[in-house]
Every structure is written in C-alpha cells, then in structure tokens.
Amino acid sequence: MKLITHNMLTSKGIKNVKEGFPLKIQADEVKNVDIDFDREFISRMIPKLDWNALTFAAQCVGHQEDLPDTLPEGYENDDDLLKKLHHILLEVEVINGCLECPETQRKFPISNGIPNMLLNEDEV
C-alpha cells in the first residue's frame, strides 16, 4: 500500500465511527520502489491530500524525511520538497502490517501491499 492510498482511506463505515481518519499504520514490512519523478503529478496531488494525515503516515513508517509541519506556500516551486513528497507518496510501500481505526482500534490487515478494509456484518 502506497502512502498516497493511505491518505484516502477511512474506517468511517464502522458503526458509531464519526471520522475514522487517519488510520494508524503498523508496518511489519516496508519497501522502497523506484518510480520516475513526475513533478506535474505530484504538484497536482498535493492540494488533494490531508497534510496532517500524510505526515502522520510518514512518521508511522519511519519516513518523515524532514517534512514540514504545514505545507509551505510556493511548494510547487520547491523541487526538494516535491522530490521528498514523490518518494513518500509513491515509492514507500507498506507490504505487510495493519491499519488501525483511531476510534475503535479495529485493525485491518495489509497483505502483499493490499489493505483489506472489509467489515464484518455486525460492524455496519
């Protein structure tokens, strides 16, 4: 699971969960995958991300990479920051582990890079 995917996942579907975001990552296996840097793609994705969730996810997997606490203005002209974000969002991949709901502590397994967010019948 790439961290760009994590930024869009929520456990809001669980009964009585109000937000369910961000999910805590407990990574057993993380690997880096080389992907060509696409400045335009990263620049367009940044406004769609929840910055606090991104920094939290990066911290969970040990790849905070000196990310600032808040998204700086003019980020689209900062090649160093864009390359760090490219690395964190697209190249860091959680292979095995789990995601934990911040409200219920329900754990969702990640296996072979795929998070299983299916709920049990009694959870909906």
30-75 pLDDT, tens digit per residue, is 999 999 999 999 999 999 999 999 999 999 999 987 899 999 999 9
Q: What's the CATH code, domain 3-116? A: 2.20.25.10
72-99 pLDDT, tens digit per residue, is 999 999 999 999 999 999 999 999 999 9
- The pLDDT value given to residue 66: 85
pTM of the model: 0.92
In SS3 terms, the chain reads as CEHHHHCCCCCCCCCCCCCCCCCEEEEEEEEECCCCCCHHHHHHHHHHCCHHHHHHHHHHCCCCCCCCCCCCCCHHHCHHHHHHHHHHHHHEEEEEEEEECCCCCCEEEEECCEECCCCCHHHC
- Domain spans in the chain, listed from the N-terminal domain onward: 3-116
